[in-house]
Chains A and B, each alone.
Chain A
């Protein structure tokens, strides 16, 4: 049978140079362009930036301290002096929310960073070594997946006390599994690609190949997943704080504030409303930003 293929041959296509793949500059430019077209993600980004700035810089602007009790001003609704009211001890609610935001956000980012380090190292190593080691390492992850994490974090806080650092580590230590899986999958596909072979044939060491070649090429999915891990982690911290197992008074994360607000909601509903609003808006913006980043960095995975 006579055959002819009418599509261009692979030789006609421009082949990217090794350095280009290492930098992947066009990937980022493309991603940024796509992200800019996604209005929802941009709004989410703006919203999150505003919340973060308010929480980080706000405490320097307010005339109130977060511990500062002025019983005479106890439990007021929103006024010109106290935009979001005060609690029963006369503490300024907005100031408390901003300080709480610092804690909640730092838990979110620190614990995500911990999970990132563990997950990336574990996943990349597993995929890079491959073979039996890979199988065993991934089976271990499968087993851990079946573990009841919240319960373990609670167990950890019961046993080792409720310090902020412990919460970082405990949450980070249970949130790395999916990250490890994603990184492994990504590395496995990249491993078969030619520029890695080129690096191997140039006699680079394994460590250098992982650090300089593999990791830069898997950052896309990692950024996406990390963005989605931050709200998940914040949620877990808030659950702990809400249950009274998180940060200790007088420090207060958003979870603690919501818990206090819930106890007082019959008489002072604003004490529940405002922290809940901040918390939900933060989750909302991070989730949408994560979705937008996924569409921007990995257009193939987009569902519609």
Chain B
């Protein structure tokens, strides 16, 4: 088991390196340098700035410096926010995004799993059809539709919440719901599918034949296997949560990393974009690793193979 975790950990290193190389290559392959957009700036100043940021060095040297800084965890200065480093910006805004992500995940799992379970156990009844139609609708209402709608209804018309900002605890509600409901819909569908699959297995019939009460069949015999698809979904879900956070933070004007990233992309703030991409990539790869390990822990068949 520890061997498996160790190997899995070692595998992430080359992946991160490849991502770093790709990001670097892409940014240098871009037509024009990062400062070529500002037309009113004189060529002399651009040259100065290029020199200051080390862009005048030969590419291998630049790459070497870049990797060296990365290894120290230094993502460099922001080209647009004068006097601020990418590290500072990420450090300041990521906790906000993290909190949003946690609330959303909590809503998604807390709502999706029970609903999916209920639908599977009471298959082909109203308890299945109604929530599952809701889940299908949830999937067809992406965050950038759901967000404005929620803001319109609960923010403007009913007036329970603020339409933007991230100050009071109540400000957490609409953004977290926007993101959480969407993934909750997915989780509900996956849970139902996983549970139906497991409930039709021979070993569930064995449990019935032993006289195991129905609720114990669901919780003791079926749940573990039935939730495996949900656990497997957590990896891609985290990636989707990140892109969802771009949208939600833009809609509700939340000062999270997602909004900074979108602004940086809009303003072509190269170091900021690259730094954020690397940060997100690392985060995702680590999270995926944890999900992989979790899957193995949940499934005894995999546990002993590894």
Contact = CB atoms under 8 A, between A and B. Distances in A.
Q: Do A and B touch each other in the complex, judged by CB within 8 A?
A: yes
Interface of A: 143, 145-152, 154-161, 235, 238-239, 242-245, 255, 258-259, 261-262, 265-266, 269, 272, 276, 279-281, 283-284, 287-288, 303-304
Given A146-B284, A148-B239, A154-B265, 16 more contacts: A148-B284, A151-B243, A151-B261, A151-B276, A151-B281, A155-B23, A242-B144, A245-B265, A255-B144, A258-B148, A261-B148, A272-B149, A283-B139, A284-B136, A288-B136, A303-B196
Contact of A235 (B15, B142, B152, B235): B142
A265 B148 contact: yes
Given A272-B148, A303-B193, A238 B142 contact: yes
A265 B152 contact: yes
B144 A259 contact: yes
B243 A239 contact: yes
B250 A147 contact: no
Contacts of A146: 15, 235, 284-285, 288
Interface of B: 15, 18-19, 23, 26-27, 29-31, 123-124, 136-137, 139-142, 144-145, 147-149, 151-152, 156, 193, 196-197, 235, 239-240, 242-243, 246-247, 250-251, 261-262, 265-266, 268, 273-274, 276-277, 280-281, 284-285, 288
Contacts of B29: 159
Given A272-B152, A284-B136, A157 B265 contact: yes
Contact of B242 (A151, A244, A255): A151
A158 B261 CA distance: 11
Q: Which of A261, A269, A281 has the most CB of B within 10 A?
A: A269
Given A146-B15, A238-B142, A155 B152 contact: no
The 8 A-B residue pairs whose C-beta atoms are closest, nearest first, are A150-B243, A159-B30, A262-B148, A284-B140, A283-B140, A276-B145, A242-B144, A158-B265
B140 A280 contact: yes
7 contacts: A148-B242, A151-B277, A155-B274, A158-B30, A238-B142, A238-B144, A287-B139
A256 B156 CA distance: 22
Q: Which of B136, B144, B280 has the most CB of A within 10 A?
A: B144
B160 to A, nearest CB: 16
A274 to B, nearest CB: 12
A241 to B, nearest CB: 9
Contacts of A261: 148
Nearest to A284: B140
A238 B246 CA distance: 13
A243 B250 contact: yes
Given A259-B144, A272-B148, A283-B140, A147 B281 contact: yes
Q: Which of A145, A150, A157, A159 has the most CB of B within 10 A?
A: A159
Nearest to B274: A155
B301 to A, nearest CB: 20
A149 B251 contact: no
A303 B229 CA distance: 13
Contacts of A281: 140
Given A143-B18, A150-B239, A160-B30, A262 B144 contact: yes
B247 A242 contact: yes
A148 B250 CA distance: 19
Contact of A148 (B142, B149, B281): B281
Contacts of A143: 15, 18
A287 B136 contact: yes
Contacts of B26: 155-156, 159
Contacts of B31: 160-161
Contacts of B140: 280-281, 283-284, 287
Contacts of B251: 262
